[in-house]
């Protein structure tokens, strides 16, 4: 076990997997010589050479197109999109091709591809380097959508994604890259995809969250002594329906926290799920604490992101209902 941050955890995971499997190819903008803009792929070029660590042109469509062909014909590509905001030129490839290959070919072809990309705010990136687009991908059958909140889960989920035979959108909350360290096993291990983590046991209120909001939620409930169940989804598609319904039925009060925009966000799906299947257990309306339905602001980033004040306002609202 070693105390490392998320960047180090991801880097070591990719390194270990590449050493174990010669089919793995890493490709993306600046992933080689520079080691990636956040240094997640640091030193991999020196170890594995230019045939397995490819610096690509600034062309996301080309990155995903090449990775798709590699995956369909026997390789295991790890494609990096430097910022999730720039994944949209490749959106057609991802949604209309990658996600549907296995279905449309009756299982004759698969696309065992991992698309890694940092997402979200918290680093003063402005509107083109801070977006949270997870709902776009979670709406697409054929994709798996994963977002770790800590170094341990980052490694375990990445290994599980590698061992799948289908495409995975691996969303890395960039403001957590170096935010904290955690004990991570030195050997490869798996964290089950599709299974949420319960981070705190409580009886008064359930807080359901994921990604970058996990530390914010945990610090809020601990600082304010909230007797809360805290659920980290970890995987958005497939979502852990059992964990969501169990906590809603347990406390009867639910607050959902994510930094992505409110309308048609992941929180809306969770709310609908609880309303359809656990409404008789509810003691208060479900409340969402989210980003706003506006372009991500540069100069007012701290007002856009959910914080302790907004989360506590939501918690008090459901507790006093």
CA separation for the pair 217, 256 (Å, rounded):
10
289: CB partners within 8 A, 6+ apart: 255, 256, 257, 306, 310, 311, 314
User: What count of other Cβ atoms lies within 10 Å of the Cβ of residue 263?
Assistant: 11
Q: Which two tokens stand for residue 234?
A: 């970890």
Give yes or no: 258 in active site: no
Q: Report d(CA 319, CA 312) in Å as an integer.
A: 10
100 C-beta neighbours (distance < 10 Å), count: 15
Question: Which member of 129, 139, 258, 300 is catalytic?
Answer: 129
How many CB atoms are closer than 10 A to CB 302? 10
Measured in whole angstroms, the distance separating CA 49 from the mean position of its chain's CA atoms is 29
Instruction: Dihedral sign for Cα 179, 182, 188, 189, please.
Output: negative
Taking the C-alpha atoms of residue 153 and residue 212, their distance in angstroms, rounded to an integer, is: 13
Alpha helices in the chain (DSSP H): 6-20, 44-48, 60-72, 91-92, 101-104, 134-138, 151-162, 213-224, 241-251, 266-277, 301-304, 308-320
Active site residues: 129
């Amino acid at each position: 076990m070693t105390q490392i941050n998320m960047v180090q955890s991801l880097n070591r995971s990719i390194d270990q997997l590449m050493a174990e499997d010669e089919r793995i190819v890493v490709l993306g903008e600046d992933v080689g010589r520079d080691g990636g803009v956040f240094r997640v792929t640091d030193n991999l070029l020196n170890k594995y050479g230019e045939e397995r660590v490819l610096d690509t042109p600034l062309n996301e469509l080309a990155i995903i197109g090449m990775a798709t062909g590699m995956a369909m014909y026997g390789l295991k590509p790890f494609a990096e999109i430097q910022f999730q905001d720039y994944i949209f030129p490749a959106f057609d490839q991802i949604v209309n091709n990658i996600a549907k290959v296995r279905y449309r070919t009756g299982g004759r072809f698969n696309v065992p591809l991992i698309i890694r990309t940092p997402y979200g705010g918290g680093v003063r990136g402005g509107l083109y380097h801070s977006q949270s687009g997870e709902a776009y991908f979670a709406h697409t059958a054929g994709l798996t959508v994963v977002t770790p909140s800590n170094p341990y889960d980052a490694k375990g989920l990445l290994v599980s994604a590698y061992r799948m035979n289908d495409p995975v959108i691996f969303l890395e909350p960039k403001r957590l890259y170096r935010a904290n360290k955690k004990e991570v096993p030195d050997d490869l291990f798996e964290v089950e995809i599709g299974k949420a983590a319960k981070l705190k046991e409580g009886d008064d209120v359930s807080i359901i969250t994921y990604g970058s909001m996990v530390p914010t939620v945990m610090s809020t409930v601990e600082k304010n002594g909230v007797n809360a169940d805290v659920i980290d989804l970890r995987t958005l598609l497939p979502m852990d329906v059992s964990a969501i319904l169990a906590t809603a039925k347990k406390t009867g009060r639910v607050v959902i926290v994510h930094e992505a925009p409110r309308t048609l966000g992941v929180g809306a799906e969770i709310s609908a799920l609880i309303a359809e299947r656990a409404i008789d257990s509810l003691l208060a309306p479900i409340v969402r604490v989210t980003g706003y339905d506006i372009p991500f602001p540069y100069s007012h980033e701290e007002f856009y992101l959910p914080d302790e004040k907004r989360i506590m306002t939501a918690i008090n609202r459901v507790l006093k209902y």
